[in-house]
Each structure stands twice: as structure tokens, then as C-alpha cells.
Amino acid sequence: MAKTSSKVTARRKRVQRIRVKISGTSEKPRMRIFRSNRNIYAQLIDDVHGKTLAACSTGDKGFATDDPADKSQQARQVGLLIAARAKDLGITKVVFDRGGYLYHGRVKALSEGAREGGLQF
């Protein structure tokens, strides 16, 4: 059985602490971020009905990656893309869920891109 690293366990604890405090509705969904080493993902989630309303990532088909080394710029583009998909659904306000990560680097770039795209949080 593989042992889970303390870094992963600590992040899971942070996620649970955050999730107790925030929740999304269909009018104001929760924007959840997941960051892997290669990609970054964003989802708009309605917690009342347990549905994902919109999602996008750097791994999507048609996602333009000019420079694969500049992950912050890619995260900003994902933020703009999730904002555009939210506008198509008529969503302007979201609750930001940073997923247990620090508000720094790629997470910050994604959120700034989403704000630039018209989302309010």
C-alpha cells in the first residue's frame, strides 16, 4: 500500500476546512481550482444540485499553448475562458475556491484572468 505524502494530506485537510465555509448555488456557483504539475483546471460547481455547470483546463482540445514553459500565462487564459463560459450561462458572480493552494502564482493568475473576463468574486 502506497503511503500518502504529508504535503498531500495537509492540502486535503485545508480543502475540507475551506469547504465547510463556502458553497455554491446555481446563481452564484463555486469556482474550484485544481493545479497539477502540467495543467490547471477550473470548474463552476452548483453544490445544491451537485452539478458541474462549466469546466475548462489547459488540457482542453483547441487550447492554444504558445509557450509550454509559461504556466502562469496559460492559467490566465484558462481564467478568461472560464469567465467566457460563465457569461454564456448568464453567470456573473462566483465563490472562489482556491482548492487548498496558496493564492499565489498560477492560482492568482487564473483568478485575475477570470476577473478580467468579467467574473466577480
Q: Tell me the CATH number for domain 23-116.
A: 3.30.420.100
pLDDT tier at 63, thresholds 50, 70, 90 = confident
Integer distance in angstroms from the first to the last C-alpha of the chain?
41
pLDDT tens-digit readout, 14-45: 999 988 988 888 889 999 999 999 999 999 99
Note whether 18 and 103 are within 8 A (CB).
no
Q: Domain spans of the chain?
A: 23-116
